């Protein structure tokens, strides 16, 4: 009987091996491998097939949602939220049983849920090797739990409305519901992947690939800036592409895809990159960009990213949100779009009111000038006085940050026109002109000025050579007066046209000159740097109402994340507020590519200066007397965290040597506290530099001394707000009504002065 069962198993195993070998995609994850797993591991999985399985299906493996669970525990301490939090925790535990795990954890050491004492946690999870991908009952159960969690999310939002003025509890609940929403989107995405087999590994022959790269090289070689294009497109690296690991191939593919469509390219560069030889290369690169690796576990990546343990894990989340379209060859499903939405949200936001824009606007006042011009073929002389008032009005628009600069004024003039008959006139004119301005992630744009003019001309006096002759002089004066009055209509039209032209030209010239200066500054100091760092400032939303305007933007590279947490809510009376998420800073820091690189102090300063030529870097550094050699860690070399009223700069070090002493594998953290006054923001280092990692306690003082010079203390009374803003009399009625650093956001807001002082959240 035993022998008969063994023979049967051997036949099944032989059949499976033959089926796998016959499969066209058996090298990655053929249907045979899936079938092997689906049938409940009827036969052992070969080691290489097991590795392939992990590199494709590991995306959907369960990872403990520690960020959410910590927030649930904290919020659950509030009596009104306790029952709701417990219900969510129980559902999450049930959900964990419906996803595979990479490996079974020790139940005693596994820190999954922080339940209260009366809660029992089950642990019946299945490893990926044992998972049955065709068990429809598991998916039905998973769907039911996800539906119940969605109901819980709605209940949480209902609770938010009931909390009213309990701001502390409201903050805790708002944060946890926002995190629950992110996890629901992530879990639904993984559920979709469980029923969507991954595509095959890019099947590109060496000959096809080298031919494509060679064709691109021919195009680049014919360009006047051949060497620049060779370096920019990394053509020598692409020639050696087959020798790189799949993960390296994927990262380089995404980089070159971004470079084929640069954000700030001029017309000639766009024309060059539009050559047909680049299209074939782009097709191949998209296939390589869809590669999955053994590190791609979406739930684990979300936890590592949100806990600030691995900033680049955010890149993997973005890659996954964009991979589906590359891999499957059709438009993203809703679940994949949601994933991109929550992890590529805006990380910069500006809100401004019409009232603030007008308070910042200087008024030109009155102007007196001499008049000497020709009108109706006659010279006209005199003097005129104009009074002008500037005003800004927001122009309602659902899609743009849009406002108009209005010029309202009067022009009063007294003139005379000497000739055979001398005519004396008084003219009263009113005008209103508007110059429309649009603000976007590309800078400031304008439309031509428009104006409306109304004039009234009154004949004050008239003199003729015959005035001294009785009767004849009276008749001649009357005839001349009638003729002058008959010409007043033409004179008024000419006067209005002239004022219209003059006002529009002056408004266009004045605004365009100032905006040209502003745009030139943005281009030289900002957009050029963004292009050099391969970062894009992308507008996600802009809206203008009758009294305010808001714009939301994302600063990120092609696969970098944006904000994902709830932003702080400014005070209702805020006139201007600006908010920035830590992802904007971390995306910028990633582009320095410091990971794994070694520098002396002078080399590091020179490198940073070459990347940021407009910044004065290293001027205040105190050079150590001994030789200083620093090697950055291979991952997350420099990162920033914004939390609990302070921001922390983290420096990951692979090795450091100062003179004959050396240390390795440690992290340096310098925390800076942010405080405020009525029109002041103070930033000061909080405590000493903190070290963690492999440095003995007896040597930490030496290393702290080194990095205390890199992260110096700042004067607590040093206001970082611009002096021009503080001293500007037009802003005397404003005060800082919010300064908040929380959940990755820095928010700063100014509003009208109040007796309550500064508002902090």
Q: Which residues contact 468 (CB under 8 A, 6 or more apart)?
A: none
Q: Cα separation of 559 and 568, whole Å?
A: 26
Which pLDDT score, from 0 to 100, does residue 755 have? 54
Contact present, 563 and 345 (Cβ < 8 Å): yes
Which pLDDT score, from 0 to 100, does residue 104 have? 56
Which pLDDT score, from 0 to 100, does residue 517 have? 83
Q: Which residues contact 181 (CB under 8 A, 6 or more apart)?
A: 153, 342
Which pLDDT score, from 0 to 100, does residue 369 have? 77
Distance from CA of residue 282 to its chain's centroid?
25
Which pLDDT score, from 0 to 100, does residue 142 have? 93
Q: Which residue has the tokens 């994949």?
A: 336
H helices of 559-639, in order, are 582-590, 601-611
Which pLDDT score, from 0 to 100, does residue 460 have? 62
Which pLDDT score, from 0 to 100, does residue 196 have? 72
Kindly report the backbone phi and psi dihedral angles of residue 379, in degrees, each rounded to the nearest multiple of 5, phi listed first.
-75, 140
Q: Which helix (H) or strand (E) holds 662?
A: strand 661-677
Kindly report the backbone phi and psi dihedral angles of residue 493, in degrees, each rounded to the nearest multiple of 5, phi listed first.
-65, -45
Which of 525, 350, 556, 536 lies closest to 439 in space, CA to CA?
350
Which of 152, 83, 70, 153 lies closest to 112 in space, CA to CA?
70
Q: Cα separation of 142 and 96, whole Å?
A: 9
Which pLDDT score, from 0 to 100, does residue 93 have? 92
Which pLDDT score, from 0 to 100, does residue 485 have? 63
- Beta bridge partners, 440, equal 443
Which of 415, 313, 322, 434 lies closest to 374 in space, CA to CA?
415
Which pLDDT score, from 0 to 100, does residue 9 have? 41
- Beta bridge partners, 648, equal 641, 671
Kindly report the backbone phi and psi dihedral angles of residue 590, in degrees, each rounded to the nearest multiple of 5, phi listed first.
-60, -35
Buried b (16+ CB within 10 A) or exposed e, 735-758: bbbbbbbbbbbbbbbbbeeeeeee
Q: Cα separation of 51 and 681, whole Å?
A: 53
Kindly report the backbone phi and psi dihedral angles of residue 92, in degrees, each rounded to the nearest multiple of 5, phi listed first.
-65, -40
Contact present, 53 and 33 (Cβ < 8 Å): yes
Q: Which helix (H) or strand (E) holds 623?
A: none
Distance from CA of residue 160 to its chain's centroid?
28
H helices of 130-234, in order, are 136-163, 167-194, 206-221, 226-232
Which of 261, 266, 272 lies closest to 221 in space, CA to CA?
272
Residues in the chain: 761
Query: What radius of gyration do the chain's Cα atoms show?
Result: 35
Cβ count within 10 A of residue 41:
13
Q: What is the mean pLDDT of each run of 10 residues along the chain (761 residues)?
A: 43 35 30 29 44 71 92 93 94 92 56 41 70 84 95 93 83 93 94 75 85 92 91 91 88 91 83 90 90 85 92 91 73 73 93 90 78 73 81 92 88 73 74 88 86 77 64 58 65 74 82 82 80 89 94 94 91 92 95 93 87 72 75 94 91 90 91 84 86 83 83 74 78 87 92 62 36
């Amino acid at each position: 009987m035993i022998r008969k069962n063994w023979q049967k198993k051997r036949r099944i195993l032989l059949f499976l091996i033959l089926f796998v070998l016959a499969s066209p995609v058996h090298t990655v994850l053929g249907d045979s491998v899936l079938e092997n797993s689906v049938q409940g591991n009827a036969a052992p999985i070969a080691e290489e097939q097991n590795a392939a399985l992990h590199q494709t299906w590991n995306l959907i493996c369960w990872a403990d949602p520690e960020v959410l669970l910590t927030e649930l525990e904290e919020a659950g301490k509030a009596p009104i939220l306790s029952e709701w939090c417990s219900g969510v925790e129980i559902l999450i535990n049930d959900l964990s049983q419906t996803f595979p795990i990479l490996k079974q954890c020790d139940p005693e050491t596994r820190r999954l849920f922080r339940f209260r004492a009366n809660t029992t946690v089950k642990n019946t999870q299945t490893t990926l090797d044992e998972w049955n991908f065709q068990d429809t009952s598991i998916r039905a159960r998973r769907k039911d739990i996800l539906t119940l969690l969605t109901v819980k999310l709605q209940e949480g939002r209902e609770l938010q409305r009931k909390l009213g003025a309990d701001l502390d509890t409201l903050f805790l609940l708002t944060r946890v519901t926002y995190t629950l929403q992110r996890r629901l989107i992530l879990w639904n995405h993984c559920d979709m992947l469980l029923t969507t087999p991954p595509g095959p590994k890019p099947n590109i022959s060496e000959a096809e690939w080298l031919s494509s790269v060679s064709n691109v090289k021919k195009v680049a070689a014919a360009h006047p800036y051949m060497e620049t294009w060779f370096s920019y497109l990394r053509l020598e690296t692409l020639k050696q592409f087959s020798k790189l690991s799949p993960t390296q191939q994927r990262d380089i593919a995404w980089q070159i895809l971004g470079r084929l469509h640069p954000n700030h390219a001029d017309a000639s560069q766009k024309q060059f990159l539009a050559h047909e030889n680049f299209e074939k290369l782009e097709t191949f690169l998209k296939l390589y960009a869809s590669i999955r690796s053994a590190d791609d576990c979406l739930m684990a990546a979300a936890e590592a990213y949100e806990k600030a343990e691995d900033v680049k894990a955010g890149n993997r989340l973005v890659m996954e949100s964009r991979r589906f379209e590359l891999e499957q060859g059709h438009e993203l499903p809703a679940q994949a779009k949601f994933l991109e939405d929550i992890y590529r949200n805006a990380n910069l936001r500006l809100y401004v009111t019409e009232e603030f824009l007008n308070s910042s606007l200087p008024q030109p006042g009155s102007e007196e000038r001499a008049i000497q011009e020709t009108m109706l073929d006659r010279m006209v002389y005199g003097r005129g006085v104009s009074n002008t008032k500037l005003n800004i009005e927001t122009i309602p628009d659902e899609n743009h940050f849009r406002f108009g600069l209005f010029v309202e004024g009067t022009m009063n003039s007294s003139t005379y026109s000497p000739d055979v008959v001398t005519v004396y006139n008084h003219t009263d004119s009113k005008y209103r002109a508007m110059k429309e301005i649009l603000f976007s992630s590309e800078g400031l744009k304008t439309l031509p000025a428009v104006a409306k003019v109304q004039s009234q001309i009154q004949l004050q006096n008239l003199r003729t050579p015959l005035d001294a002759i009785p009767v004849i002089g009276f008749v001649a004066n009357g005839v001349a007066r009638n003729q002058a009055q008959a010409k007043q209509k033409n004179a008024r039209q000419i006067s209005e046209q002239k004022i219209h032209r003059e006002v529009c030209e002056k408004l266009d010239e004045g605004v365009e000159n100032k905006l040209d200066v502003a745009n030139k500054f943005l281009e030289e100091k900002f957009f050029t740097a963004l292009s050099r760092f391969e970062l894009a400032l992308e507008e996600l939303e802009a809206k203008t109402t009758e009294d305010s305007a808001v714009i939301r933007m994302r600063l990120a590279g092609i696969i970098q994340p944006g904000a994902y947490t709830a932003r702080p809510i400014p005070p209702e009376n805020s006139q201007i507020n600006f908010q920035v998420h830590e992802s904007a800073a971390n995306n910028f820091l990633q582009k320095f590519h410091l990971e794994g690189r070694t520098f002396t102090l002078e080399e590091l300063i020179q490198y940073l200066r070459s990347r940021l030529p407009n910044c004065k870097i290293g001027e205040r550094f105190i050079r150590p007397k001994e030789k200083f050699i620093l090697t950055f860690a291979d991952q997350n070399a420099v990162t920033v965290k914004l939390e609990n009223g302070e921001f922390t700069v983290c420096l990951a070090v692979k090795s450091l040597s100062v003179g004959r002493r050396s240390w390795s594998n440690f992290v340096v953290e310098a925390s800076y506290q942010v405080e405020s006054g009525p029109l002041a923001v103070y930033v000061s280092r909080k405590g000493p530099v903190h070290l963690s990692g492999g440095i003995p306690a007896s040597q930490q003082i030496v290393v702290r001394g080194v990095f205390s010079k890199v992260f110096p203390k700042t004067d607590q009374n040093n206001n970082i707000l611009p002096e021009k803003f503080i001293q500007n009399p037009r802003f005397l009625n404003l005060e800082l009504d919010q300064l908040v650093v929380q959940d990755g956001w820095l928010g700063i807001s100014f509003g009208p002065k109040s007796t309550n002082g500064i508002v902090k959240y």
